[in-house]
C-alpha cells in the first residue's frame, strides 16, 4: 500500500490472478465472494443437500463440505447430482485433512475445489521424545510431501479444478513447529511449501488461507503471506477467516476485527465468518462487513444517530419501522436522524432522510434537499411513498430476501 493509498477513502485491493471455483470467479477483478460450510454429516445425502440449499438461499456463494473418508468423498457425487436435479449449481468445496491423497483424488471428480491442510495432508504422529529436526530430515519429509501431493495437483490441473491451500495455526506439522516455532512465519512456510510444489507442476488455480482463532495471529499470518507471495512473484487470491470465532456478538466482533482489518488493507478475495451457530447465520455478517467497508453494496445502508436529549421522537422504534418497511430494497442509503442538528448535515450522503423537525413533525429529504414535512404518525408511510415517486421502490416478494436482517 502506497502512502497516498493509505489516506484514500477507496480500498485498493492487492492485485491477484483470477481463480474459477465453479462459475464463481475469485480474485481482485471480481466481487469478494462469501463462503460457508454445512454442519451435516456428508453421508446423510438428504440432510447435506438441505443444508447446502439453506446456505444458497441465504446468499452464500460457495459451500464447503467435509470429506474425512473415501465413503464421504463418494457421497459428494450423490450430493452434487441431487443438487443439480433441484436446479442448484452452487460451487462445492471438499474439505480434506489427514493423509488425504486417496480421498482428494476421489472427491475431485465431484466438486469444484479441494481444500487441503498442509499440516495434516501428509501426517506423521508427533514424537514426544524428539528434540530437533535435522536439515536432512526436514528435506526428506519435503520430498515425501511432493511425491504424495503431486498426483492431486495433476488431477486438478487436468480437470481444471481449484485448490485451497488452507493453513490452520492449530495444526502446523511437527517439523514446521520445530523449525519456525508456533508463529505466523511457520504458517507461511507451511503454505509456501505447497505453493512451490504447485508452481513446479505449472498449476496455478490456487487460493490461500491462513486461519487462526486469535485475530492478531491471523492478521500477521495473512500480511506475511501476501508479502512473501508478492516477493516471490505469486499473485494467488486469499480466503479470509478467523477460525473457531465462537458465537453471539463476540464471535461476530472477533471475526470482523480480523476480516475487516485485512479487507481495509486491500487483502482478501473471499471470506467466511466461522460461527458456532447455524451456518446460514454467518452469511448476513459477511455481507454486512463488505457493505460497511463499501466493498459490496447488497442491502440498504441505514444511517442513524445514537440519540440524545434533543431527539424529537422514539428513534429506536422509528428506525425499526423504517428498516421493516425498506429492508428488502438494495443499494439505497436511508438516514434516520432525531433532530435538525444531526440532520441534514451528517446525512448529506444519504439518498433519503427522515429527520425530526419539531415536536410531532418529520422532514423528509432527498439527498440534501428537504422535500416535505409530514406529521410523525405518517412519517414512515410518506418516506416509502417518496421512494416510490422516485421510481426506486420494488415490492417485497414472498421469497426470503437474501440479505434481509432481522
pLDDT tens-place string over residues 116-125: 999 999 888 8
| 161-170, 247-256, 260-269, 329-338: least confident range | 329-338
H or E element in which residue 365 lies? strand 361-366
Place 255 in a pLDDT band, splitting at 50, 70 and 90: very high
Query: Between 12 and 397, whose confidence is greater?
Result: 12
pLDDT at 40: 96
Whether pLDDT at 405 is above 80: no
Q: Give the Cα separation of 56 and 86 in Å (integer).
A: 12
Residue 402 pLDDT more than 50?
Answer: no
Residue 295 contacts residue 30 (beta carbons within 8 Å): no
pLDDT at 55 over 70: yes
φ, ψ dihedrals at 207, nearest 5°: -120, 145
Under DSSP, the state recorded for 275 is: -
Over 90: is that where the pLDDT of 278 sits? Answer: yes
Can you tell me the mean pLDDT for 134-157?
Answer: 94
> 356 with 312: CB under 8 angstroms?
yes
Q: Given this model, what pLDDT does residue 1 score?
A: 64
Burial status of residue 359 (CB atoms within 10 A of its CB: 0-12, 13-18, 19 or more) = exposed
- Per-residue confidence (pLDDT) for residue 345, from 0 to 100: 72
- Band (3; pLDDT cuts 50, 70, 90): low
Mean pLDDT of the chain: 92
pLDDT at 187: 97
Mean pLDDT, to the nearest integer, of 273-281?
A: 96
Helix (H) or strand (E) holding 159: helix 135-159
Report the pLDDT averaged over residues 193-214.
Answer: 97
- Do strands 162-168 and 239-240 pair parallel, antiparallel, or not at all (unpaired)? unpaired
Phi then psi for residue 72, to 5 deg, are -65, -40
What is the rounded average pLDDT of the residues 344-361? Answer: 85
Confidence of residue 344 (pLDDT cuts 50, 70, 90): low
State the average pLDDT over residues 400-405. 39
Rounded CA-CA distance 109/189 in Å is: 29
pLDDT at 404 over 60: no
Rounded CA-CA distance 106/42 in Å is 14
The pLDDT of residue 250: 95
With a CB cutoff of 8 Å and minimum separation 6, the contacts of 221 are 167, 169, 184, 187, 188, 210, 212
For residues 188 and 228, is the Cβ–Cβ distance under 8 A?
yes
Query: Please, what are the domains in the chain?
Result: 3-292 (3.20.20.20), 301-389 (3.30.413.10)
Instruction: Assess whether pLDDT exceeds 80 at residue 342.
Output: no
Using 50, 70 and 90 to split pLDDT, how confident is the model at 398?
very low
Question: What confidence category does residue 338 fall into, taking pLDDT thresholds of 50, 70 and 90?
Answer: confident
Amino acid at each position: 500500500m502506497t502512502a497516498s493509498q493509505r489516506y484514500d477513502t477507496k480500498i485498493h485491493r492487492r492485485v491477484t490472478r483470477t481463480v474459477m471455483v465453479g462459475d464463481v470467479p475469485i480474485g481482485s477483478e471480481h466481487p469478494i465472494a462469501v463462503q460457508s460450510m454445512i454442519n451435516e454429516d456428508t453421508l446423510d445425502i438428504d440432510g447435506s443437500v438441505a443444508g447446502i440449499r439453506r446456505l444458497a438461499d441465504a446468499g452464500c456463494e460457495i459451500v464447503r463440505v467435509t470429506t474425512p473418508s473415501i465413503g464421504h468423498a463418494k457421497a459428494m457425487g450423490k450430493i452434487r447430482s441431487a443438487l443439480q436435479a433441484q436446479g442448484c449449481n452452487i460451487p462445492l468445496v471438499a474439505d480434506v485433512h489427514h493423509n488425504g491423497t486417496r480421498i482428494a483424488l476421489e472427491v475431485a471428480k465431484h466438486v469444484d475445489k479441494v481444500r487441503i491442510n498442509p499440516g495434516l495432508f501428509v501426517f506423521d504422529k508427533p514424537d514426544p521424545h524428539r528434540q530437533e529436526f535435522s536439515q536432512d530430515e526436514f528435506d526428506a519429509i519435503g520430498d515425501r510431501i511432493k511425491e504424495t501431493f503431486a498426483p492431486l495437483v495433476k488431477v486438478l490441473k487436468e480437470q481444471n479444478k481449484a485448490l485451497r491451500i488452507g493453513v490452520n495455526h492449530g495444526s502446523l506439522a511437527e517439523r514446521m513447529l520445530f523449525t519456525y516455532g508456533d508463529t505466523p512465519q511457520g504458517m507461511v512456510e507451511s503454505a509456501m511449501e505447497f505453493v512451490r510444489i504447485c508452481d513446479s507442476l505449472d498449476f496455478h488455480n490456487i487460493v490461500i488461507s491462513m486461519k487462526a482463532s486469535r485475530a492478531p495471529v491471523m492478521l500477521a499470518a495473512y500480511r506475511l503471506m501476501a508479502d512473501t507471495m508478492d516477493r516471490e512473484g505469486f499473485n494467488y487470491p486469499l480466503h479470509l477467516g478467523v477460525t473457531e470465532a465462537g458465537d453471539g456478538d463476540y464471535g461476530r466482533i472477533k471475526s470482523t476485527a480480523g476480516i475487516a482489518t485485512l479487507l481495509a488493507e486491500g487483502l482478501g478475495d473471499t471470506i467466511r465468518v466461522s460461527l458456532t451457530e447455524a451456518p446460514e447465520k454467518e452469511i448476513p455478517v459477511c455481507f454486512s462487513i463488505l457493505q460497511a467497508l463499501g466493498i459490496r453494496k447488497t442491502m440498504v445502508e441505514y444511517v442513524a444517530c445514537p440519540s440524545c436529549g434533543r431527539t424529537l421522537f422514539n428513534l429506536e422504534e422509528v428506525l425499526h419501522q423504517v428498516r421493516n418497511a425498506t429492508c428488502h430494497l438494495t443499494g439505497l442509503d436511508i438516514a434516520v436522524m432525531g433532530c435538525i442538528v444531526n440532520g441534514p448535515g451528517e446525512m448529506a450522503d444519504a439518498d433519503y432522510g427522515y429527520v425530526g423537525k419539531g415536536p410531532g413533525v418529520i422532514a423528509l429529504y432527498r439527498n440534501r434537499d428537504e422535500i416535505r414535512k409530514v406529521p410523525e404518525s405518517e412519517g414512515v408511510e410518506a418516506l416509502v411513498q417518496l421512494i416510490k415517486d422516485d421510481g426506486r421502490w420494488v415490492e417485497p416478494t414472498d421469497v426470503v430476501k437474501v440479505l434481509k436482517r432481522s
